[in-house]
Amino acid sequence: MQDLAGPDMPKKFPIFDGFALLWWGLLFGLFIARAEVTACPTTCHCIDKSGMTVVQCMSRNLENIPSDLPRDTVVLLLASNHITHIPSHAFRELHYLQELDLSNNDIETVDLGAFQGVSDSLLVLDLSNNHIQSVPKEAFARLHAKISLSNNPWHCECTLQEVLRELRLDPETVNEVICHTAVQEEYAGKSIIQVLDSGINFCNFHHKTTDVAMFVTMFGWFTMVIAYVIYYVRHNQEDARRHLEYLKSLPSSSQISKDFDTISTVL
pLDDT in tens, 14-46: 544 555 544 444 444 433 334 344 689 999 999
Which CA distances in Å does 152 have to 31, 128, 173, 254, 264? 44, 7, 12, 94, 106
* C-alpha distance across the termini of the chain, in Å: 161
Average pLDDT on 220-244 reads: 69
pLDDT digits (tens, 9 = 90+) for 193-221: 999 999 999 998 654 445 445 555 665 66
Distance CA 174, CA 196 (A): 12
How many CB atoms are located within 10 Å of the residue 4 CB? Answer: 6
Superfamily name with CATH number, domain 45-200:
Ribonuclease Inhibitor (3.80.10.10)
Per-residue model confidence (pLDDT) at position 32: 39
* More confidently predicted of 73 and 241: 73
| Of 82, 96, 88, 52, residue with least CA distance to 67 | 88
Residues of the chain with pLDDT > 90: what percent?
58
How many whole angstroms separate alpha carbon 99 and alpha carbon 75?
A: 5
Model pTM score: 0.66
Which sequence spans correspond to the domains of the chain?
45-200, 201-249
pLDDT value for 39? 86
Is 60 exceeded by the pLDDT of residue 115?
yes
pLDDT of residue 132: 98
